[in-house]
Every structure is written in C-alpha cells, then in structure tokens.
C-alpha cells in the first residue's frame, strides 16, 4: 500500500513520510509520558527550561526538535529512552 501511494523505499517522498511518521510517534510518546506524570505542558516546559509553546510543538510533531531537547524532556519526565541503530538489517550493539 505504501509503495503504491507514497512511493517505494529509498525514494525521497517515502523517506520523508517515514521520518514524519517516526516524529509523530515520538511526539505522542512525549505527550503520553507527560500526561502519565500529571503535568501540564507549562509545567513540563518549566522543568525543561522552555516555553509551553515549544512543548506543544514537540507533542504535535517532534521533527523540529533537537536530540538534546528530546533527551531533556524525557529526563524531566523521569522516563528511560533507548536508541537502536540498524545497518543493513543488523542491529548495532554498544559494548
């Protein structure tokens, strides 16, 4: 379905779609974690050192956020985050 309507893997449109989808998922995770902690966007913003508007933008789409901001948000939420890197279907392990 994706190949037909968005484009095959490896083309620019498909890569952009996949990137935006991941950023939407990340934004939703931030929102859910914030709600689990019973925090408002303003309260979370104060913990992170940013304005409420930036938290709102982050939750609606994380694609304009830096990795540093994302890490600060999850630390403020006392949430663990894990990164996986896969190259040619092989997951990299840190030792």
CATH number at residue 21: 1.10.260.40
Quote the pLDDT of residue 78.
93
- pLDDT single digits (tens) 28-72: 999 999 999 999 999 999 999 999 999 999 998 866 788 888 889
Quote the pLDDT of residue 18.
75
Quote the pLDDT of residue 47.
96
Q: Which domain holds residue 68?
A: 2-91
23-28 long-range Cβ contacts below 8 angstroms, 24+ apart:
23/61, 23/62, 23/63, 24/61, 24/62, 26/62, 26/70, 27/58, 27/59, 27/60, 27/61, 27/62, 28/59
Whole-structure pTM value: 0.70
Number of domains in the chain: 1
- pLDDT single digits (tens) 75-93: 999 998 877 777 787 877 6
């Amino acid at each position: 379905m994706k190949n037909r309507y968005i484009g095959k893997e490896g083309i620019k449109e498909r890569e952009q779609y996949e990137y935006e989808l991941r950023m939407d998922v990340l934004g939703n995770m931030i929102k859910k974690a914030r709600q689990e902690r019973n925090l408002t966007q303003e309260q979370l913003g104060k913990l992170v050192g940013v304005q409420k508007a930036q938290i709102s933008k982050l939750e609606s789409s994380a694609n304009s956020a830096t990795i540093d901001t994302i890490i600060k948000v999850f630390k403020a939420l006392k949430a663990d985050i894990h990164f996986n890197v896969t190259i040619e279907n092989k997951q990299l392990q840190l030792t």
